[in-house]
Structure 1
Amino acid sequence: MLIINQLLDIYEVRKPELVPFNNYARRLIAWLGVVTLEHVPRGENRQADALAKLASTLAFPDHETHVPICRNWRQPLIDYLQHGKLPNDPHTKTDVKRRAPRFIYYKDTLYRRSFEGLFLRCLGENEAKQALEEAHSGICGAHQFGPKLHFRIKRMGYYWLTMVKDCMEYAKRCHVCQVHANFIHQPPELLHPTVASWPFDAWGPDVVGPSPKSSGGHLYILAATDYFSKWAEAIPLKEVKKENVVNFIRTNLIFRYGVPRYIITDNGKSFYNNAMIKLCQKFGFKQHTSTMYNPPANGLVEAFSKTLGNVLKKVVAKAKRDWPERMEEALWVYRTTYRTPTQATPYSLVYGVEAVLPLERQIPSLRVAIQEGLTHEDNARLRLEELEALDEKRLEAQQRLECYQARMSKSFNKKVCLRSFQEGDLVLAVRRPINTTHKIGGKFVSKWDGPYVVQEVYSSGAYKLVAEDGLRVGPINGKFLKRHYP
Structure 2
Amino acid sequence: MAFDGALNSQGAGAGFILTSPSGDQFKHAIHLNFRATNNTAEYEGLLAGIRAAAALGVRRLIVKGDSELVANQVHKDYKCSSPELSKYLAEVRKLEKRFDGIEVRHVYRKDNIEPDDLAPRASRQEPLEPGTFLDVLTRPLVKEASGEDSPIALNNSSGATKAERAVADIETTDDWRNPLIKFIGSEELPEDDVEAEKITRKVKVYCMIGNDLYKKAPNGVLLKCVSSDDGGHLLLDIHEGICGSHAAGRILVGKAFRQGFFWPTALKDACDMVQGFEACQFHSKHTKLLAQALQTISLTWPFSCWGLDILGLFPRGQGGYRFLFVAIDKFTKWIEARPTGEIKADNVIKFIKGIFCRFGLPHRIITNNGSQFISADFQDYCTRLGVKICFASVSHPQSNGQVEKANGIVQQGIKTRVYDRLMSHDKKWVEEVPSVLWAVRTTPTTSNKETPFFLVYGSEAMLPTKLRHQSTQVQKYSDEDQEEQRNDDVNLLEEHRERVAVRAASYQQALHRYHEKRIRARTLSIGDYVLRRVQSQAGRNKLSPKWEGPYTITQVLRPGAFKIADGDGRELANSWNIDQLRKFYV
CA offset at residue 140 of structure 1?
A: 0.4
| 1: CA distance, partners of 2:480 / 2:205 | 104
| 2: CA distance, partners of 1:77 / 1:198 | 69
The match for 1:455 is 554
Matched, 1:293 2:388: no
Structure with more relative contact order (C-alpha pairs < 8 Å, separation 6 or more): 1
3-state secondary structure, aligned to 2:296: coil
The match for 1:469 is 568
Letter matched to residue 562 of structure 2: Y
Matched, 1:268 2:370: yes
Matched, 1:307 2:406: no
3-state secondary structure, aligned to 1:323: helix
Instruction: Confirm or deny: 8 A CA contact 1:120 1:157 kept in the other structure.
Output: yes
Which residue, out of 490, 493, 503, partners 1:387? Answer: 490
Letter matched to residue 334 of structure 1: V
Which residue, out of 255, 265, 279, partners 2:357? Answer: 255
Distance 1:114 1:327, change over 3 A: same
| 1: CA distance, partners of 2:469 / 2:456 | 26
Q: TM-score when scaled to structure 2?
A: 0.63
CA offset at residue 345 of structure 1?
A: 1.2
| 2: CA distance, partners of 1:113 / 1:213 | 74
The match for 2:98 is none
Distance 1:113 1:232, change over 3 A: closer
Instruction: Confirm or deny: 8 A CA contact 2:292 2:560 kept in the other structure.
Output: yes
Distance 1:87 1:389, change over 3 A: closer
The match for 1:324 is 430
Q: Which structure's CA Rg is the greater one?
A: 2
| 2: CA distance, partners of 1:458 / 1:70 | 48
Distance 1:100 1:279, change over 3 A: closer
CA offset at residue 264 of structure 1?
A: 0.7
Instruction: Confirm or deny: 8 A CA contact 1:70 1:162 kept in the other structure.
Output: no
CA offset at residue 334 of structure 1?
A: 1.2
Which residue, out of 510, 515, 521, partners 1:412? Answer: 515
Deviating more after overlay: 190-199 vs 361-370: 190-199
The match for 2:158 is none
What CA deviation, in whole Å up to 9, does each residue of 1:143-197 have, x standing for no partner? Answer: 1222221221233333445434322322232222222222222212222222232
Distance 1:388 1:466, change over 3 A: same
Q: TM-score when scaled to structure 1?
A: 0.75
Distance 1:460 1:158, change over 3 A: closer
| 2: CA distance, partners of 1:272 / 1:477 | 18
CA offset at residue 302 of structure 1?
A: 1.1
Unmatched tracts of structure 2, length 5 or more? 1-171
Task: Summarize the alignment of residues 170-189 of structure 1 with structure 2, pairs less than 5 Å apart.
Answer: 170-189=273-292
CA offset at residue 313 of structure 1?
A: 0.8
Task: Summarize the alignment of residues 423-434 of structure 1 with structure 2, pairs less than 5 Å apart.
Answer: 423-432=526-535
3-state secondary structure, aligned to 1:197: coil
Matched, 1:105 2:210: yes
Q: Percent sequence identity over matched residues?
A: 30
What CA deviation, in whole Å up to 9, does each residue of 1:441-476 have, x standing for no partner? Answer: 344332333332211111132011122233434411
The match for 1:224 is 327
Instruction: Confirm or deny: 8 A CA contact 2:290 2:518 kept in the other structure.
Output: yes
Letter matched to residue 207 of structure 2: R
Which residue, out of 233, 236, 240, partners 2:336? Answer: 233
Letter matched to residue 466 of structure 1: A
What CA deviation, in whole Å up to 9, does each residue of 1:103-132 have, x standing for no partner? Answer: 2236xxx35254355555554566444322
Instruction: Confirm or deny: 8 A CA contact 2:215 2:224 kept in the other structure.
Output: no
Distance 1:70 1:125, change over 3 A: farther
Which residue, out of 343, 364, 373, partners 2:449? Answer: 343
What CA deviation, in whole Å up to 9, does each residue of 1:75-119 have, x standing for no partner? Answer: 7888999xx78979656999599589612236xxx3525435555
| 2: CA distance, partners of 1:305 / 1:460 | 26
The match for 1:166 is 269
3-state secondary structure, aligned to 2:371: coil
CA offset at residue 408 of structure 1?
A: 1.9
Instruction: Confirm or deny: 8 A CA contact 2:179 2:189 kept in the other structure.
Output: no
Unmatched tracts of structure 1, length 5 or more? 1-68
Distance 1:393 1:470, change over 3 A: same
CA RMSD across the alignment: 3.0
| 1: CA distance, partners of 2:387 / 2:512 | 27
What CA deviation, in whole Å up to 9, does each residue of 1:391-412 have, x standing for no partner? Answer: 2222222222222222222222
Instruction: Confirm or deny: 8 A CA contact 1:70 1:161 kept in the other structure.
Output: no
Aligned residues: 405
Distance 1:298 1:86, change over 3 A: same
CA offset at residue 322 of structure 1?
A: 0.5
Instruction: Confirm or deny: 8 A CA contact 1:150 1:163 kept in the other structure.
Output: yes
3-state secondary structure, aligned to 1:449: strand
